[in-house]
Amino acid sequence: MPECLPDYEIKGSGDNSSKKRFDPYKFEPESHHLVLKEMFKDGDIQGKDNMIAKTKIAWGANGYNIGDSKAKEAMEYWNKMELVENISKVGYPGLYKYKVG
């Protein structure tokens, strides 16, 4: 029967403290502005799905690979801090604007 070498680490075992955890409230405002400036460099973002995708890409470029739920958390944070505004009208898809540029 095969044996594991003594120094072999099984995936998922051990201390995961080196893994970066994403929490939008733990970042300095400057970090958010850098991400937002990159996301909005081509202007306003049309549609919630596009906003989520750009959020994931921008944070990923900064070392935080996040999923949809964490992207939505970041969007909620930006809305709460009045950094991004959804300027869409009823019946139209979301149109997101970076308020500090």
The residue assigned the tokens 């992207």 is 71
Calculate the alpha carbon distances from 91 to 69, 88, 97 in Å. 24, 8, 18
Q: Do 99 and 82 form a contact (C-beta atoms < 8 A)?
A: yes
| pLDDT tens, position by position, 36-94 | 999 999 999 999 999 999 999 999 999 899 999 999 999 999 999 999 999 887 777 78
CA distance 39 to 56: 10
Query: What pTM was estimated for this model as a whole?
Result: 0.76
Q: Do 79 and 72 form a contact (C-beta atoms < 8 A)?
A: no
The pLDDT assigned to 58 comes to: 96
Torsion angles phi and psi, residue 49, rounded to 5: -60, -40
